Chains A and B, each alone.
Chain A
Amino acid sequence: MSVILILLAASLTIAIGFLLAFIWSVKNGQYDDDYTPSVRMLFENDIQNSQQVITGSPSVPVSTNAGMENKIKKQTE
């Protein structure tokens, strides 16, 4: 069963690696805010609307499609 040692070493390496990553992420402040990131990812970085996106309040759902649809409209017009 000496292979268990290999598997164990490999699995522990991974686990410890993730543990360090976890500690880093906490210390780095990754999880200080566990709400904003879920909303921020919805904002498309659309240059035409960038002003609106930056000032837009996260609590108001902002249509990510707005920019896209505007573009399509403009093209078709």
Chain B
Amino acid sequence: MEIEKFQYDNKIVKQFAYATMLWGVVGMLAGLLAALQLVWPVFNFETAQTTFGRVRPVHTNAVIFAFVGNGIFMGVYYSLQRLLKARMFSDLLSKIHFWGWQLVIVLAAVTLLMGKTTGKEYAELEWPIDILITIVWVVFGWNMFGTIVRRRERHLYVAIWFYIATFVTVALLHIVNSIEIPVSFWKSYSWYAGVQDALVQWWYGHNAVAFFLTTPYLGLMYYFLPKAANRPVYSYRLSIIHFWALIFIYIWAGPHHLLYTAVPDWAQSLGVVFSVMLIAPSWGGMINGLLTLRGAWDKVRDDVVLKFLVVAITAYGMATFEGPMLSIKNINAISHFTDWTVAHVHVGALGWNGFLTFGILYWLIPRMFRTRLYSNKLANMHFWIGTLGIILYTVPLYWAGIMQSLMWKEFTPEGQLKWQFMDTVTKMLPFYAGRAVGGTLFLVGTLMMCYNLIKTVKAGNFLANEEAEAPALTSSYKAHHNDHWHRWIERRPVQLMILSLVVVLIGGVIEIVPTFLVKSNIPTISSVKPYTPLELQGRDIYVREGCYTCHSQMVRPFRDETARYGEYSKAGEFVYDHPFQWGSKRTGPDLARLGGKYPDSWHYNHMMDPTSMSPGSIMPTYPWLLDDQIDAASTVGKIKAMQRLGVPYPKGYEKQALSDMKKQAEEIAASLKKDGIQTLADKEIIALIAYLQKLGKDIKAAPKAELEKLSN
């Protein structure tokens, strides 16, 4: 057996590590800004680019795809080479991957701040960037599989399986959810409409959590935890079983984001069942992680890396216990649309992803720079300040979320809603302030880490190419016939295969059969009409400003919601919505029944200064809508795109669209004039008012008999 000499590429790992730190700080700063805006609207700075609706997508995209994304690549590029005893397949591909991903991030930040968005949460980036992401992702996969093929270690360690699952599934999710029809270079409409768009979006959204924030990090845990503790994982067998169980179950859980919405009941129940099942494989990972430290807990006392990893794994356990609980309909009825969800997400984001990344960085940087960590004391301070930050962040939001939901649902003995929506908003402010303090602490900790690591780097001596040697892989494989693992494998894989087949088939049958009854799943409502050209332009402004980050458009069939907003939402209302705008959070009230509730002038004044119409409001001001002109030139293209998507505008309508738009705009300008507001009819505010007044208007015009039939 000949020993081959080769070198591990540390340079690419170092680059991804630096990017992780940089984007971590940037993403957290954006989050902190958004948190401050919720307490003091003055932090919106009355500028379009710095308003919450645009900052929030920047924050989510930055922390998920920039911070965690680079964290994944850092860990994968380091561990993959060593687990496979091979250098990365191609230095060029590594380079393209790194710079391509940073380009995606920069483009994303710029376009999101400019209001170029698809309006689908966590998939806001417009189609040219979507294509770029796909290319960069394929480069990553090519590089990874190339390395796997050239490996010198036959066995694929469990971490690698997690990386493979991540690559394959994220590619598919991204492509399916990003199918959109371009209108111009920076504008597109989702291919799907309404309920269908919602299903695809949350199938994507949930699995983005599963396959971007969870599986790759589990892979990293299975490499870096044993390394840091210097002991093998508690049960390698458990790691294999929980891996396969996790990936077979995760993909079906998406509809739990849409409970009590206009999504068909059976799809909701399916999501619930699989979500509850998820607790088993998720906890399999957590238990395996924590038990790896059995008999070595004394090390945790001294080693700051292990401290971070332990809290990360514990946070993972808490979040994956809470997730299935929140998927149960009764609990979801309380938690959905509130800050409970935000708290839940941040246990995972700050605890699991954040702390695991920090632990890896503290372990990795001194090693690659062949020195010791600059200051253990500082790292320990980071650990405690970060942990305190997580607690101060989440506890107020749990409290606030439950409180707000209960206030929404409270009735007086006379049967009236006890609280105005605004009452619940003002009650939230102290909690929002507490959350901002928690977030600040977490960010301070991150900055301390950056300082600590920069000092470490300065003191160290970087090893760009690490010498290694290993025998080449012989091509033939001979199974060991007499050891007892063979007997184990004779029994279990067959059972596992049958079980996973059954699970997949059950999922398949349950989802296929009802589709034979396609028509009955989306009952159309005769009075629901396509958007007029002006309403369509207004809707695009609504999407551009990220209104969906604070307002839902989905009245659930609860007593308090129908009393507060009106008739609950029906699937048939959304058939022309590309994309859907149901939202996932009610920082402000639901808007599904807004149309006709207030006069046009109310909306005009409200967008100029929300507190003038609703005192105590924390909504930002939108003065630019009053000055900027509607992009009338895009109207024809937009109508044509909608026609291609099957929206039933009459043939040749695009020629008439502009004059129709002008006519409707002048009507609104005239109505504003009656209330003493002088404005030109070509301003964006006019289009937005047209759209807001359309919301829920059609259902109010629907014949009673038709609605009753729908409710049965």
**A residues in contact (CB < 8 Å) with B:** 1-8, 10-19, 21-23, 25-26, 28-42, 44-45, 47, 50, 61, 63-65, 68, 71-72, 75
Contact B469 A65 (CB under 8 A): no
Instruction: State whether B156 touches A30 (Cβ < 8 A).
Output: yes
Is the C-beta of B176 less than 8 angstroms from some C-beta in chain A?
A: yes
Among the stretches B387-395, B505-513, B695-703, the one at the interface with A is B505-513
Decide yes or no whether B504 CB sits under 8 A from chain A.
Answer: yes
Q: Give A8 to B664 CA distance when docked, in angstroms.
A: 42
A11 touches B252 (CB 8 A): yes
A1 near B522 (CB under 8 angstroms)? Answer: yes
List, in ascending order, chain B residues with CB within 8 A of A31's CB: 240, 485, 489, 493
User: In the complex, A75 Cα to B459 Cα: how many Å?
Assistant: 13
Question: Dominant SS at the A interface?
Answer: helix
Q: Are B486 and A2 in contact (CB under 8 A)?
A: no
The answer to whether A68 touches B367, judged by C-beta atoms less than 8 angstroms apart, is yes
Selecting from B243-251, B329-337, B665-673, the interface stretch reads B243-251
- Is the C-beta of B168 less than 8 angstroms from some C-beta in chain A? yes
Report A74 CB to chain B, min CB distance, Å.
11
Q: Which residue of B lies closest to A48 (CB)?
A: B467
- List 10 extra interface pairs beyond A15-B251, A23-B493, A68-B370, CB under 8 A: A11-B507, A14-B169, A22-B244, A30-B156, A32-B485, A34-B488, A37-B236, A38-B236, A42-B226, A61-B231
CA distance A34 to B239 in the complex (A): 10
Complex CA distance for A30 and B155, rounded to whole angstroms = 6
Contacts of B227 in A (CB 8 A): 41-42, 64
Contact of A12 among B176, B226, B504, B515 (CB under 8 A): B504
- Name which residue of chain B comes closest to A44, CB basis: B82
B480: chain A residues within 8 A (beta carbon): 32-33
Tell me whether B232 and A38 are in contact (CB under 8 A): yes
**CA A18 – CA B230 in complex, angstroms?**
31
Q: Does B501 contact A (CB under 8 A)?
A: yes
Interface size counted on chain B using CB atoms at 8 A: 73
Contact call B370/A72, Cβ cutoff below 8 A: yes
The reply to whether B231 and A18 contact each other, CB–CB distance below 8 Å, is: no
Q: B203 contacts the other chain (Cβ, under 8 Å)?
A: yes
User: Counting CB contacts under 8 A, is B199 at the interface?
Assistant: yes
Query: Do residues A13 and B230 form an inter-chain contact, with CB atoms below 8 A?
Result: no
> Which B residues lie within 8 Å of A44 (CB)?
82
**Is the CB of B134 closer than 8 A to any CB of chain A?**
no
Complex Cα spacing A11 to B522, Å: 22
CB < 8 Å neighbour of A14 from B158, B251, B489:
B251
Minimal beta-carbon separation of A62 from chain B (angstroms): 8
Which residues of the partner chain B approach A22 to less than 8 Å between Cβ atoms?
244, 493, 496-497, 500
Residues in B whose Cβ lies below 8 Å from that of A12: 504, 508
Chain A, residue nearest B82 (CB): A45
Do the beta carbons of A18 and B367 come within 8 Å of each other? no
Residues on the A chain within 8 Å of B458, using CB: none
Knowing A5-B515, A47-B467, say if A18 contacts B165 (CB, 8 Å): yes
Residues of the B chain whose Cβ atoms lie less than 8 Å from the Cβ of A39 = 232
Q: List 6 A-B contacts (CB under 8 A).
A: A1-B196, A1-B518, A6-B176, A32-B486, A41-B82, A64-B230
